[in-house]
């Protein structure tokens, strides 16, 4: 490989050069080697502008120092097997390797990969695409280059290469796109000469009197016939090959007895072409090959724009699924082995090095490192994980080495679940879309009738171009933009939300959320930190404080309610036959004694019979729960703290004109305190699940505030009923777990202030969808009369059609950002 | 025709420009983004890149105008001087062609010469704050003066162009040819770079340049 003494890298352009000819320059006390005076000037230039940090940034991106240091061949090799599917055999024994490099960060990385790989013996071509984070290397095994060697080179530059496997979905998308481009190219190439051939005919006063006011000399019949035949030959591939997707679509639609937007387009193209063929055979001068070609080209252009809009989505999908490594390091008692990820079992110990992706959901058993969950939550800041902390597959391990114990298998990873949900939601066809489709189908029927009527009318009036007018009507009225208007926008919006850590389960979420007028919070775990703690214990009987706490802990150990976590002490007691009563408490047997723990009314229903002596000391601050057996044993006071962003969120919602309410099952934060800090419109505490549902229904039905569209925000577990009763719901997932919940959407980033943002974004999505629909309807309706009057040239109709599709797609594209 | 050749030359020198000026472009954008953020503005890399690019073009244009003017003055003193300029231009083109094919790297010596002229420019640069638009333009302009063998060869062509305007036009065309690659580094255009870097492309372009230079010399010598 490299001879480190005789060769070195240019500090600026990183060209490999003989050390003997290198120029030297002192920069900030370092001697830098440079290949030429141009590069020296460049370093001086950058230095003079105080931009030296560029070099640090670049080196951080891909340390060349690392390359030279490792040049001897240290580091472990990646199994070649893992890359087998990413290798493509080329002619004369060469091979191509496709790698996905998810952590390709900047232009300098692209540049470096090309520089370093391109210089290797046996590597013939290197292509790095920054947009899709893919690398394609063509190499020659005969010259000693191999797949592990390439992977190792990339690794040494500081990247984690992964085989870019040809999964079915993406491959079909890519081939679809290529196919479309070829069709578009054929149409473009065919269209130009055909239009040129049509020009003399126009000028000679053939079909269009519009252009030729002059009495230009008629073309001689022989050359006119020749031009017609040439046009026929050139436009055949355009009409038969390029426009084939339209014909096929129309055919399928007809077979299913429905009308699709392909139908009028296909009819227009085929009619213009067939009429021209007949006229050519009959030596009639009116031919419309140019019209057929232009229709095809411009309409394909519109389709292509639609295809491109799906790429954004496709690529983010790819990056997500490529997040996990294919192989992991499994640690046994004595040694360490590399195994495929799918062979990992629950309980396996896995070693994760700094910079690697956490390969499985699990618990840290050894090591300490900062880990960032940006793939889930959109939150880039890492947090420190120590033994005992949960980590999720797909998170990035930053600075320390960790050993984790896998807690689930791949199909149950949070990441896998999120991806499933995301796929599911993106397949949903929104209400608007279904409406538009239904409308479009009627619309197409009407257009077909209208075009036929126009043809008959203009034929009767004796117009030469009656058929062309009819065909123009067909093209101009095609509701392509209308049928694109909604799906494109909702796809882009779903992807954007996903990137910010909002996973939509119910596809209807966005359109319903846009109408929200009231937001109801379920307090437990939503507005509070959900870290209840016991701050007072009042024994009522002979049992002392410690014994009471131990008994309660044994009971609560079986419950998943946030309250249960407050009871934690070391106890050998175990409870049996434990039953949890939602919203009330828990009961069970310990050492043959039956205990109840929960709200007073549940634990000891006839509390009043004991008189006031047994009531909790102060009713209104905190949540009091009672432990009872044959007699009341102790009161526990539980406290929770409000989240920092709760007040901010409520204020932001109020500013949006949204009614806010808290319907809480407990009173773990003092009611008065809550009302003072959060200026919510309605505050109801101590509700049973049934009362909660009733309260949500009441809001919905119009009492006491007037009919509201209600969005319920909770943890999605304890309030499933109320969530189902509300129009929409959002669950706020605690960090590191995707709780199986019933909400329409889940915030993976436990950041309450996202709620107003999501509402605003939903309204913006709705606005953009409406703009799209409004625009495409207005376009279709306003241009049809013009076309009917025969005032619209066919090329303009086709161009307008594709531009209106393009406009709709670009408008939807604005939803790529959550902020305005 | 000269303009088109200049544009093509700009395009074909992309690999060189990318290695050298690509770094400068990245550094400038990094710096201006940081300056924008310090000033609590949202960084607009595309707009900044356009300002830097415009500055660079202006720098090239100024150099070209200067060269064209010098050429016009020199050649007005006699046809021999004009012919000599054409010869010089032709020779430099051949030298550049040889550099591109990789057969002879002598043109680098010209860069070393320019390195000395470069020092005063450095003093102008010191402490230029990239936050302001005017300064972005200025930095781009000075960037255009970076000593570079390819630029010098183009200047020789501008020298023989006959007027300041024609000289500026040649340099602007050249600049336009390089700009997309330099500014687009990291963008879509990078996909085309491996193609441009392939030696047979460079050889083809180099041979074209050599022939072009030889043609220029021939037309000067044989009236």
Q: Which of B27, B148, B188 sits opposite A51 (nearest CB)?
A: B27
Residue B162, token pair as written in the block: 């006959």
Q: Which chain B residue shows the shortest CA-CA distance from A48?
A: B126
Q: Which of B19, B115, B186 sits opposite A13 (nearest CB)?
A: B19
Chain A residues near residue B22 by CB distance under 8 angstroms: 107, 111
Lowest mean pLDDT segment, chosen from A73-82, A426-435, A602-611: A73-82
Chain B residues near residue A115 by CB distance under 8 angstroms: 19
CA A236-A240-A246 angle, 5° bins:
140
pLDDT tops 50 at residue A215? no
CATH topology identical between A7-69 and A80-166: no
Q: Which of A531, A476, A499, A490 shows the shortest CA–CA distance to A734?
A: A531
The residue segments making up the domain with residue B129 are: 2-221
Sequence spans of domains, chain A: 7-69, 80-166, 172-323+417-502+772-820, 327-412, 503-528+644-760, 533-639
Distance, in Å, from the CA atom of A174 to the CA atom of A461, rounded to the nearest integer, reads: 50
Between B45-76 and B14-38, two packed helices, what is the crossing angle to 10 degrees?
130
Percent of the residues in chain A that have a pLDDT greater than 90, as a whole number: 3
* Subunit contact B190:A45, Cβ cutoff 8 A: no
Q: What is the pLDDT of residue B223?
A: 57
Lowest mean pLDDT segment, chosen from A236-250, A475-489, B31-45, B175-189: B175-189
Q: Which of A279, A272, A274 shows the shortest CA–CA distance to A294?
A: A272
Q: What is the pLDDT of residue A762?
A: 93
Q: What is the pLDDT of residue A768?
A: 92
Chain B residues near residue A12 by CB distance under 8 angstroms: 20, 23
Chain B residues near residue A42 by CB distance under 8 angstroms: 20-21, 23-24, 146
CB of A130 within 8 Å of a chain B CB? The answer is: yes
Q: Which of A539, A590, A597 shows the shortest CA–CA distance to A563?
A: A597
* Subunit contact B198:A125, Cβ cutoff 8 A: yes
Chain B residues near residue A18 by CB distance under 8 angstroms: none
pLDDT tens for each residue of A20-36:
667 788 877 778 888 76
Q: State mean pLDDT over A128-154.
A: 77
The helix (H) or strand (E) run that includes residue A747 is strand A745-747
Lowest mean pLDDT segment, chosen from A14-23, A131-140, A498-507, B211-220: A14-23
Distance, in Å, from the CA atom of B67 to the CA atom of B63, rounded to the nearest integer, reads: 6
Q: Which residue has the higher pLDDT, A585 or B61?
A: B61
Contacts of A166 (CB under 8 A, 6+ apart): A85, A86
Q: What is the pLDDT of residue A759?
A: 93
Q: Which of A363, A360, A467, A377 shows the shortest CA–CA distance to A416?
A: A360
pLDDT tops 90 at residue A764? yes
Q: State mean pLDDT over A232-240.
A: 89
Q: Which of B27, B115, B142 sits opposite A54 (nearest CB)?
A: B27
Question: How far A40 CA sits from the closest chain B CA (Å)?
Answer: 8
Lowest mean pLDDT segment, chosen from A351-355, A597-601, B9-13, B211-215: B9-13
Q: State mean pLDDT over A550-571.
A: 78
* Subunit contact B23:A13, Cβ cutoff 8 A: yes
Q: State mean pLDDT over A720-749.
A: 75
How many domains are there within chain B?
1
* Subunit contact B111:A36, Cβ cutoff 8 A: yes
Q: What is the pLDDT of residue A6?
A: 61
Distance, in Å, from the CA atom of A264 to the CA atom of A804, rounded to the nearest integer, reads: 17
Bridge partners of residue A728, in order along the sequence:
A711
CB of A107 within 8 Å of a chain B CB? The answer is: yes
Chain A residues near residue B26 by CB distance under 8 angstroms: 54, 58, 106-108
Q: Which of B24, B186, B188 sits opposite A45 (nearest CB)?
A: B24
Q: Which of B26, B148, B187 sits opposite A54 (nearest CB)?
A: B26
> A–B: how many Cβ contacts below 8 A?
110
CB of B132 within 8 Å of a chain A CB? The answer is: no
* Subunit contact A110:B197, Cβ cutoff 8 A: no
Q: What is the DSSP string of B80-94?
A: HHHHHHHHHHHHHHH
CB of B158 within 8 Å of a chain A CB? The answer is: no
Burial of A210 (0-12, 13-18, 19+ CB in 10 A): exposed
Residue of A25, A45, A311 best to disrupt the B interface, most CBs of B under 10 A: A45
Question: How far B14 CA sits from the closest chain A CA (Å)?
Answer: 13
Asked if A404 contacts A363 with a C-beta cutoff of 8 angstroms, the reply is yes
pLDDT bracket for residue A738 (50, 70, 90): low
Q: Which of A750, A717, A744 shows the shortest CA–CA distance to A528?
A: A750
Residue of A25, A51, A113 best to disrupt the B interface, most CBs of B under 10 A: A51
Distance, in Å, from the CA atom of A614 to the CA atom of A636, rounded to the nearest integer, reads: 13
CB of B200 within 8 Å of a chain A CB? The answer is: no
Residue A380, token pair as written in the block: 């880039």
Q: Which of B20, B130, B194 sits opposite A126 (nearest CB)?
A: B194
Sign of the alpha-carbon dihedral angle for B146, B149, B152, B157: negative
Distance, in Å, from the CA atom of A3 to the CA atom of A550, rounded to the nearest integer, reads: 71
Lowest mean pLDDT segment, chosen from A502-506, A692-696, B59-63: A502-506
Q: What is the pLDDT of residue A124?
A: 82
Residue A304, token pair as written in the block: 């292509």
CB of B146 within 8 Å of a chain A CB? The answer is: yes
* Subunit contact B148:A128, Cβ cutoff 8 A: no
Q: Which of B115, B128, B186 sits opposite A110 (nearest CB)?
A: B186
Residue A250, token pair as written in the block: 């129309």
Q: State mean pLDDT over A363-387.
A: 78
CB of A128 within 8 Å of a chain B CB? The answer is: yes
Q: What is the pLDDT of residue A617?
A: 62
CATH architecture entry for A7-69: Roll (2.30)
pLDDT tops 70 at residue A753? yes
- The pTM for the full model equals 0.53
Q: Where are the beta strands (DSSP E) in A326-443?
A: 327-331, 336-340, 349-352, 362-367, 369-372, 383-385, 390-391, 396-397, 402-406
Between A754-788 and A794-813, two packed helices, what is the crossing angle to 10 degrees?
180
Summary mean pLDDT of chain A: 76
Q: Which of A500, A499, A412 shows the shortest CA–CA distance to A737?
A: A412
CB of B105 within 8 Å of a chain A CB? The answer is: no
Q: Which of A527, A532, A575 shows the shortest CA–CA distance to A550?
A: A575
Residue A601, token pair as written in the block: 């009314």
Contacts of A307 (CB under 8 A, 6+ apart): A176, A177, A180
Residue of A36, A60, A106, A113 best to disrupt the B interface, most CBs of B under 10 A: A36
Secondary structure string (H, E, C) spanning A631-673: CEEEEEEEECCECCCHHHHHHHHHHCCCEEEEECCCCCCCHHH
Q: Which of B143, B170, B152, B211 shows the shortest CA–CA distance to B4?
A: B170
pLDDT tops 60 at residue A737? no
Output phi, psi for A489, to 5 deg: -65, -40
| Residue showing tokens 């120029």 | A23
Q: State mean pLDDT over A119-141.
A: 77
Q: What is the pLDDT of residue A209?
A: 39
Q: Which chain B residue shows the shortest CA-CA distance from A47?
A: B126
Asked if A733 contacts A750 with a C-beta cutoff of 8 angstroms, the reply is yes
Q: State mean pLDDT over A547-552.
A: 85
Q: What is the pLDDT of residue A758?
A: 93
Lowest mean pLDDT segment, chosen from A484-488, A503-507, A672-676, A723-727: A672-676
Cβ neighbours around A213 below 10 Å, total: 8
Asked if B65 contacts B72 with a C-beta cutoff of 8 angstroms, the reply is no
Distance, in Å, from the CA atom of A516 to the CA atom of A756, rounded to the nearest integer, reads: 11
Q: Which chain A residue shows the shortest CA-CA distance from B31?
A: A51
* Subunit contact A40:B18, Cβ cutoff 8 A: no
Q: What is the pLDDT of residue A663?
A: 84
Output phi, psi for A122, to 5 deg: 90, -10
| Residue showing tokens 């307008």 | A800
Q: What is the pLDDT of residue A322?
A: 60
CB of B118 within 8 Å of a chain A CB? The answer is: yes
pLDDT tops 50 at residue B168? yes
Chain B residues near residue A49 by CB distance under 8 angstroms: 27-28, 31, 125, 128, 130, 139
Q: Which residue has the higher pLDDT, A282 or A742?
A: A282
Q: What is the pLDDT of residue A756?
A: 92
pLDDT tops 70 at residue B75? yes
Distance, in Å, from the CA atom of A73 to the CA atom of A96, rounded to the nearest integer, reads: 23
Question: How far B198 CA sits from the closest chain A CA (Å)?
Answer: 8
pLDDT bracket for residue B16 (50, 70, 90): low
Distance, in Å, from the CA atom of A86 to the CA atom of A110, rounded to the nearest integer, reads: 20
Q: State mean pLDDT over A650-665.
A: 86
Q: Which of A189, A187, A168, A190 shows the shortest CA–CA distance to A179?
A: A187
Question: How far A89 CA sits from the closest chain B CA (Å)?
Answer: 20
Q: Is it true that domain A503-528+644-760 has CATH number 2.115.10.20?
A: no
* Subunit contact A49:B146, Cβ cutoff 8 A: no
Q: Which chain B residue shows the shortest CA-CA distance from A113?
A: B194
Q: What is the DSSP string of A255-310?
A: HTT---THHHHHHHHHHHHHHHHHHHHTT-S---HHHHHHHHHHHHHHHHHHHHHH
Question: How far B53 CA sits from the closest chain A CA (Å)?
Answer: 16
pLDDT tens for each residue of A318-331:
555 666 777 788 88
- Three-state DSSP state, A728: strand
Between B14-38 and A37-48, two packed helices, what is the crossing angle to 10 degrees?
10
Between A466-476 and A794-813, two packed helices, what is the crossing angle to 10 degrees?
0
Q: What topology does CATH give the domain A327-412?
A: 2.70.150
Residue A584, token pair as written in the block: 């009330």
CB of B47 within 8 Å of a chain A CB? The answer is: no
pLDDT bracket for residue A757 (50, 70, 90): very high
Q: What is the pLDDT of residue A16?
A: 60
Distance, in Å, from the CA atom of B31 to the CA atom of B33, rounded to the nearest integer, reads: 5
Q: Which residue has the higher pLDDT, A26 or A70?
A: A26
CATH architecture entry for A80-166: 2-Layer Sandwich (3.30)
Q: State mean pLDDT over A157-175.
A: 65
Q: Which of B130, B164, B135 shows the shortest CA–CA distance to B37?
A: B130
* Subunit contact B24:A42, Cβ cutoff 8 A: yes
Distance, in Å, from the CA atom of A478 to the CA atom of A487, rounded to the nearest integer, reads: 17
Distance, in Å, from the CA atom of A814 to the CA atom of A301, rounded to the nearest integer, reads: 20
Q: What is the pLDDT of residue A801?
A: 79
pLDDT tops 70 at residue A363? yes
Q: What is the pLDDT of residue B193?
A: 42
Q: In A, residues 44-73, which contact B (CB 8 Å cutoff)?
A: 44-46, 48-51, 53-54, 57-58
Q: What is the pLDDT of residue A57?
A: 63
Q: What is the pLDDT of residue B142?
A: 85
pLDDT tops 60 at residue A795? yes
- Class of A533-639 per CATH? alpha beta
Chain A residues near residue B186 by CB distance under 8 angstroms: 106-108, 110-111, 130
Q: How far lies A636's CA from each of A543, A603, B70, B178, in Å?
A: 14, 12, 95, 76
* Subunit contact B125:A50, Cβ cutoff 8 A: no
Question: How far A174 CA sits from the closest chain B CA (Å)?
Answer: 17
Asked if A283 contacts A225 with a C-beta cutoff of 8 angstroms, the reply is yes
Contacts of B195 (CB under 8 A, 6+ apart): B201
pLDDT tens for each residue of A330-340:
888 778 888 87
Contacts of A397 (CB under 8 A, 6+ apart): A352, A353, A354, A355, A356, A357, A358, A369, A371, A391
Most confident of A172-186, A506-520, A550-564, B101-115: A506-520
Distance, in Å, from the CA atom of A394 to the CA atom of A376, rounded to the nearest integer, reads: 8
pLDDT bracket for residue A369 (50, 70, 90): confident
Residue A192, token pair as written in the block: 């130009």
Chain B residues near residue A64 by CB distance under 8 angstroms: none
Most confident of A38-42, A171-175, A274-278, B19-23: A274-278
């Amino acid at each position: 490989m490299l001879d480190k003494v005789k060769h070195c890298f240019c500090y600026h352009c990183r060209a490999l050069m003989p050390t003997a000819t290198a120029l030297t320059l002192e920069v900030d006390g370092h001697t830098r080697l440079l290949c030429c005076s141009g590069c020296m000037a460049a370093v001086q230039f950058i230095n003079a502008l105080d931009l030296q940090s560029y070099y640090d940034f670049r080196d951080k991106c891909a340390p060349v120092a690392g390359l030279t240091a490792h040049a001897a061949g240290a580091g472990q090799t990646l199994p070649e097997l893992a890359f087998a599917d990413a290798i493509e055999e080329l002619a004369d024994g060469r091979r191509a390797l496709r790698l996905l490099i998810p952590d390709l960060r900047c232009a300098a990385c692209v540049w470096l990969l090309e520089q370093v790989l391109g210089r290797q013996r046996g590597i013939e071509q290197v292509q790095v695409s920054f947009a899709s984070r893919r690398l394609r290397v063509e190499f020659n095994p005969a010259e000693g280059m191999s797949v592990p060697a390439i992977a190792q080179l990339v690794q040494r530059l500081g990247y984690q290469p992964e085989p870019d496997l040809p999964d079915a979905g993406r491959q079909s998308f890519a081939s679809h796109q290529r196919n479309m481009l070829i069709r578009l190219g054929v149409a473009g190439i065919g269209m130009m000469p055909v239009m040129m051939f049509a020009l003399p005919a126009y000028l000679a006063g053939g079909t269009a009197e519009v252009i030729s006011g002059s009495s230009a000399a008629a073309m001689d019949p022989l050359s006119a016939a020749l031009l017609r035949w040439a046009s026929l030959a050139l436009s055949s591939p355009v009409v038969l090959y390029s426009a084939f997707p339209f014909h096929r679509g129309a055919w399928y639609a007809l077979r299913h007895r429905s009308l699709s937007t392909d139908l009028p387009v296909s009819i227009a193209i085929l009619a213009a072409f067939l009429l021209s063929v007949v006229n050519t055979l009959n030596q009639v001068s009116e031919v419309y090959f140019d019209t057929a070609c232009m229709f095809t080209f411009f309409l394909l252009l519109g389709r292509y724009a639609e295809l491109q809009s799906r790429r954004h989505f496709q690529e983010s999908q790819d990056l997500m699924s490529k997040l996990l490594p294919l192989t992991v390091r499994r640690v046994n008692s004595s040694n360490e082995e590399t195994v495929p990820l799918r062979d990992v079992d629950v309980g396996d110990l896995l070693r994760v090095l700094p910079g690697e992706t956490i390969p499985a959901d699990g618990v840290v058993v050894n090591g300490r490192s900062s880990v960032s969950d940006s793939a889930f939550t959109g939150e880039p800041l890492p947090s420190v994980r120590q033994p005992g902390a949960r980590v999720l597959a797909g998170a990035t391990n930053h600075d320390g080495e960790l050993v984790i114990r896998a807690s689930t298998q791949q199909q149950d990873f949070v990441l896998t679940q999120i991806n499933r949900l995301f796929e599911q939601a993106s397949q949903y066809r929104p209400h608007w879309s279904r409406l538009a489709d239904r409308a479009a189908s009627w619309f197409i029927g009407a257009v077909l009738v209208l075009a036929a009527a126009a043809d008959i009318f203009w034929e009767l009036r004796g117009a030469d171009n009656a058929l062309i007018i009819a065909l123009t009507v067909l093209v101009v009225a095609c509701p392509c933009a209308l049928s694109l208007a909604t799906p494109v926008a909702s796809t882009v919006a779903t992807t954007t939300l996903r990137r910010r850590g909002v996973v939509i389960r119910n596809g209807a979420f966005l359109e319903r959320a846009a109408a929200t007028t009231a937001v109801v919070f379920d307090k437990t775990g939503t507005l509070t930190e959900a870290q209840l703690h016991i701050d007072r214990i009042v024994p009522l009987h002979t049992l002392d404080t410690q014994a009471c706490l131990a008994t309660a802990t044994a009971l609560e150990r079986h419950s998943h309610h946030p309250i249960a976590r407050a009871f934690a002490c070391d106890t050998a007691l175990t409870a049996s036959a434990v039953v949890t009563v939602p919203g009330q408490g828990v009961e069970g047997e310990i050492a043959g004694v039956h205990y109840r723990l929960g709200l007073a009314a549940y634990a000891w229903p006839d509390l009043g019979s004991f008189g006031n002596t047994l009531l909790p000391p102060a009713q209104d601050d905190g949540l009091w729960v009672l432990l009872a057996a044959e007699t009341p044993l102790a009161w526990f006071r539980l406290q929770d703290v409000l989240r920092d962003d709760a007040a901010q969120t409520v204020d932001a919602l109020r500013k949006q004109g949204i009614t806010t309410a808290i319907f809480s099952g407990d009173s773990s934060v003092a009611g008065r305190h809550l009302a003072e800090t959060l200026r919510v419109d309605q505050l109801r505490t101590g509700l049973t699940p049934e009362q909660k549902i009733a309260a949500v229904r009441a809001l919905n039905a119009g009492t006491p505030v007037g009919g509201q569209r209600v969005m319920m925000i909770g943890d999605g577990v304890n309030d499933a009923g109320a969530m189902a009763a509300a129009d929409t719901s959002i669950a706020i997932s605690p960090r590191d777990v995707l709780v199986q919940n019933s909400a329409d959407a889940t915030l993976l980033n436990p950041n309450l202030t996202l709620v107003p943002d999501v509402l605003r974004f939903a309204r913006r999505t709705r606005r953009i969808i409406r703009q799209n629909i409004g625009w495409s309807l207005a376009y279709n309706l306003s241009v049809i009369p013009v076309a009917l009057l025969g005032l619209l040239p066919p090329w303009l109709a086709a161009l307008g059609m594709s531009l209106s599709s393009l406009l709709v797609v670009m408008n939807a594209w604005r939803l790529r950002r959550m902020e305005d | 025709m000269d303009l088109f050749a200049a544009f093509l030359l700009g395009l074909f020198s992309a690999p060189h420009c990318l290695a050298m000026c690509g770094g400068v472009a990245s550094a400038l954008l990094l710096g201006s983004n940081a300056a924008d953020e310090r000033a609590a503005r949202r960084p607009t890399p595309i707009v900044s890149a356009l300002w830097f690019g415009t500055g660079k073009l202006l720098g090239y244009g100024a150099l070209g105008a200067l060269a064209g003017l010098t050429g016009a003055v020199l050649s007005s003193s006699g046809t021999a001087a004009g012919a000599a300029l054409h010869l010089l231009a032709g020779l430099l083109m051949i030298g550049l062609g040889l550099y591109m094919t990789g057969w002879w790297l002598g043109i680098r010596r010209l860069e070393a010469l320019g390195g000395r002229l470069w020092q005063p420019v450095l003093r102008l640069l010191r402490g230029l704050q990239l936050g302001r638009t005017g300064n972005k333009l200025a930095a781009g302009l000075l960037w255009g003066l970076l000593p570079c063998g390819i630029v010098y060869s183009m200047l020789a062509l501008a020298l023989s162009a006959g007027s300041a305007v024609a000289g500026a036009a040649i340099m602007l065309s050249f600049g336009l040819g390089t700009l997309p690659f330099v500014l687009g580094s990291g963008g879509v255009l990078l996909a085309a770079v491996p193609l441009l870097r392939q030696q047979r492309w460079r050889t083809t372009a180099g041979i074209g340049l050599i022939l072009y230079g030889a043609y220029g010399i021939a037309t000067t010598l044989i009236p």
